[in-house]
């Protein structure tokens, strides 16, 4: 059985994993959304969360448990997205 712990891995495996982690830490840098002013990027992100809810929940299910679950998930996504945009998007307005 192979180990899943970094300290028990070979140096080669640890180095390869570190390269992947370093690359993933930078993957957001090329997002076009972050090249526009943060307030427009936030508006676009929040608008897309609303679009997602409206596209996912048929009108006959408004107010149902399904609708509430989708809204709950969308609100968590919107919160994380807003924080991310505020941190990384262009500061110009």
Domain extents in the chain = 1-29, 31-93
Using pLDDT thresholds of 50, 70 and 90, give the confidence band for residue 28.
confident
What is the mean predicted confidence (pLDDT) over 13-35?
89
Within 10 Å of residue 66's Cβ, how many Cβ atoms? 13
Of residues 92 and 6, the one with the higher pLDDT is 6
What is the phi/psi pair of residue 8, to 5°? -100, 0
pTM: 0.67
- 16: its two tokens: 């390869």
């Amino acid at each position: 059985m192979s180990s899943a712990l970094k300290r028990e891995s070979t140096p080669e495996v640890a180095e390869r994993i570190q390269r992947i982690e370093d690359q993933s830490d930078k993957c957001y840098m090329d997002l076009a959304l972050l090249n526009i002013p943060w307030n427009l990027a936030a508006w676009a992100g929040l608008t897309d969360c609303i679009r997602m809810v409206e596209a996912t929940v048929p009108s006959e299910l408004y107010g149902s448990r399904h609708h509430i679950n989708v809204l709950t998930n969308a609100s968590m996504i919107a919160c994380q997205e807003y924080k991310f945009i505020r941190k990384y998007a262009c500061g110009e307005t």
